Amino acid sequence: MPRFFRFEKISGKEVSVVDHKLFVLPEDLQGKGISKTLMSEMVSLYKSCGINCVYIHANIDVGGYCWARYGGIAEKKI
């Protein structure tokens, strides 16, 4: 059965992780609350599925700004 998450150890504890790789919303649909509604529903789904951690790679245009508004916490990885 396919999974949309994986398990990994964070600080010695096994957690379920989702890699949220890509979300693109055409310019003509931006600013209408669509992404806010969708992301809110996705977070609710992740929580109901027992997901402990979501990794997101936000783009330079609006991604980082949007995730910060929704409570995302930045982590720098090199």
Q: Can you spell out the DSSP letters for 34-69?
A: HHHHHHHHHHHHHHHTT--EEEE---TTTHHHHHHH
76 in a domain, yes or no?
A: no
In a domain, 25, yes or no: yes
Asked if residue 78 belongs to a domain, the reply is: no
Q: Which residue has the higher pLDDT, 38 or 4?
A: 38
pLDDT in tens, 29-69: 888 988 888 888 888 888 888 887 887 776 666 666 666 77
Domain hosting residue 20, numbered range: 6-69
CA dihedral 10, 16, 18, 19 (to 10 degrees): 30
**Count of structural domains within the chain:** 1
14 in a domain, yes or no?
yes
Supply the pLDDT for residue 55.
78
Amino acid at 43: V
Residue 53 has φ and ψ, to the nearest 5°, of -150, 135
Assigned domain for 75 exists: no
Q: Which amino acid would we find at residue 74? A: A
Asked, for residue 50, whether it belongs to a domain, the answer is: yes
Q: Could you tell me if residue 28 is inside a domain? A: yes
Residue for token digits 């949220």?
20
| 14 in Cβ contact with 7 (< 8 Å) | yes
The pTM assigned to this predicted structure is 0.62
74: in domain: no
